[in-house]
Amino acid sequence: QSEAVKSVPKTFPALMRAQKVQGRASKVGFDWDTAQEAAVKLTEERDELFAAVASSDKQAAIEEAGDLLFAAVNVIRKCGIDSEEALGLATDKFIDRFTKVEKQVEADGKQMTDLPLAELDKYWDAVKADDHA
């Protein structure tokens, strides 16, 4: 069974590789039944990441960040969604909204670097609301 997961090429993009490894492990029953069950690990891994960051242990933080991403891919896979596609779309959406925020800030005669995050977040919320309108 371990040969099946080991044989997923390391040259694959990380999200794709994680999803394929998880899928192969699932074929032998090593899997959660539902996305909701898998999602419990997200909180656990998030907390472990924050603990590692608080301890200033860079290597532990990197490992825990990877665990958090791996757990997120697992939840996404359990939902029947391709994680590479989902992240690609989310990144494109972020770029589009960020660009709109920047243009609106400039239209208001301001500079993004001069504004606190709370004010930038108001611009973000307005752009997001327009996207959903």
Each residue's pLDDT tens digit, 50-60: 999 999 999 99
Residue 1 predicted with pLDDT over 80:
no
Question: What CA–CA distances, in Å, run from 87 to 2, 15, 93, 98, 101?
Answer: 28, 9, 10, 16, 21
Cα–Cα distance measured from residue 107 to residue 102, given in angstroms and rounded to the nearest whole number: 9
Give the whole-number percent of the chain exceeding pLDDT 90.
Answer: 98
CA–CA distance, 99 with 82 (Å, rounded to integer): 26
As a whole number of angstroms, the distance between CA 129 and CA 104 comes to 14
Give, for 47, the enclosing helix (H) or strand (E): helix 35-54
